[in-house]
Amino acid sequence: MTKKVLFCATVDYHFKAFHLPYFKWFQDMGWEVHVAAHGEMSLPFVDEKFSVPIRRSPFHPDNFSVYKRLKQLIEENGYDMVHCHTPVGGVLARLAARQARRKGTKVLYTAHGFHFCSGAPLKNWLIYYPIEKLLSSYTDCLITINEEDYKRAKNMRKTECRAKKIHGIGVDTDRFRPVSQTEIERLREKHGFGAGEFILVYPAELNVNKNQGLLIEAAALLKKRIPGLRLVFAGEGAMEDSYRRMAETLGVSKQVRFYGFCRDIHELIQLADLSVASSVREGLGMNVLEGMAAEKPAVATDNRGHREIIQDGVNGFLVPLGDSESFADRIERLYRSPDLRKALGQKGRKTAETFSETRTVEEMARIYAVYMDKKEKSV
């Protein structure tokens, strides 16, 4: 009988963006790949896709119906393995898989960044830490992508739950690669940018955590210091109107471009001069790694995810959270030193290669192999 794996996340775009290589790996191993997430997106390397309306808020009343639907799917399909992603998807799927796990289904959860972390609000610790500690009882392997989360996972997990750390979810270093100056000029023309502009790119959802307001403040400080400055936000989100008003109030509407959703994000990164990231909380910082892979020096806020990949002054710069002046100073320093940009960019490329898609697929394959042939009952 063909073995089956179920991947579960809050939204299907999460899989489109990050997990297709793992789907392909399972199919190459002869497994059926099923997916459960909110959305109607068509995904390759998937044998069966279930649209379930998971809500981002863990306390949304609709999630109780989602839990029952997931429980039904898991019982009907007899999965050999369930791999959960995203906070709410991870909670619901692990709860729904409890009975199946007693019969031998293996349950894995990848934490893309615990909501409780150094510097997180107290309410995050009061709400999310007890939940995650409890759910470790229903988890065979808890996978983390940064050192802080890994250490915390080892301390809070139940004895039957293993904790593992991998190098993120994998950067496609072939797609995100450095290109020639001629290609940069072609891409700038294609996307409506001027050849002489100094471009900062931040591909991220426009929300409170991604904290784009910090970059808008930095842009206002740099408006007169860097002619041709362009700050590019590639993404959509609930804070877009607020950030647009902020840019207008600070007089940088012409310097800030709200690009919206971009299917060719690698091209925006390749045409830029710098990669920037202002998030409050980050599990790793894929957008920064993608910029590094394209040899774009990074300037990012100092959080656990960015510390995992940036050595300050070696392959980029880390700045204190909320310090727009320091952010502006690092950007100006790179603007005035093409040699420094080149040196940090080349070091960044080497960093990105250690977080490559090839490496992370191999790391996950070793983890999966531990559970693929096991069907022992769990207590």
Q: Is the residue at 265 inside a domain?
A: yes
Q: One digit per residue, pLDDT tens: the chain, 379 residues?
A: 899 999 999 999 889 888 999 999 999 999 999 999 999 999 999 999 999 999 877 778 889 999 999 999 999 999 999 999 998 999 999 999 999 999 999 999 999 988 887 777 888 888 888 888 899 999 999 999 999 999 988 887 666 689 999 999 899 999 999 999 999 999 999 999 998 999 999 999 999 999 999 999 999 999 999 999 999 999 999 999 999 999 999 999 999 999 998 889 999 999 999 999 999 999 999 999 999 999 999 999 999 999 999 999 999 999 999 999 999 999 999 999 999 999 999 999 999 999 999 999 999 999 999 999 755 554 4
Q: Is residue 33 part of a domain?
A: yes
230, 156: one domain: no
Burial 69-89 (b: 16+ CB within 10 A, else e): bbbebbeeeebbbbbbbbbbb
Does residue 104 form part of some domain?
yes
Model confidence over 267-307: pLDDT tens digits?
999 999 999 999 999 999 999 999 999 999 999 999 999 99
CA–CA gap between residue 349 and residue 297 (Å, rounded): 9
Evaluate whether 76 touches 5 at the Cβ level (below 8 Å): no
Cβ atoms of 292 and 315 within 8 Å: the answer is yes
Are 85 and 145 found together in one domain?
A: yes
Q: Order the strands of the 81-85 sheet from edge to edge.
A: 48-51, 32-38, 4-11, 81-85, 106-111, 141-144, 162-165
377: in domain:
no
CA torsion sign, 204 to 208 to 212 to 215? Answer: negative
- Could you tell me the end-to-end alpha-carbon distance of the chain, in angstroms, rounded to an integer? 25
Give the strand pairing for 198-203 and 274-277: parallel
Mark whether 156 and 186 lie in a shared domain: no
**Assigned domain for 76 exists:** yes
| Phi, psi for residue 162 in degrees, rounded to 5 | -85, 150
- Same domain flag for 161 and 303: no
- Structural domain harbouring 117: 4-170+357-372
Measured from the Cβ of residue 148, the count of other Cβ atoms closer than 10 Å reads 18
131 with 18, same domain: the answer is yes
Q: What is the CATH number of the domain that holds 73?
A: 3.40.50.2000
Q: Kindly compute the dihedral angle of the four CA atoms of residues 243, 247, 253, 257, in this order, to the nearest 10 degrees.
A: -40
Counted domains in the chain: 2
Residues 220 and 197 in one domain: yes
Q: Are residues 245 and 194 in the same domain?
A: yes
232 shares a domain with 102: no
**What helix, strand, coil percent values describe the chain, rounded to 5?**
45, 20, 35
26 and 104 co-located in one domain: yes
Q: Mark whether 60 and 189 lie in a shared domain.
A: no
What are the φ/ψ torsions at residue 107 (nearest 5 degrees)? -120, 120
What's the pLDDT tens digit per position in 60-89? 888 999 999 999 999 999 999 999 999 899
**379 inside domain:** no
Could you tell me if 163 and 244 lie in one domain? no
Same domain, 159 and 14: yes
Beta carbons of 167 and 363 less than 8 angstroms apart: yes
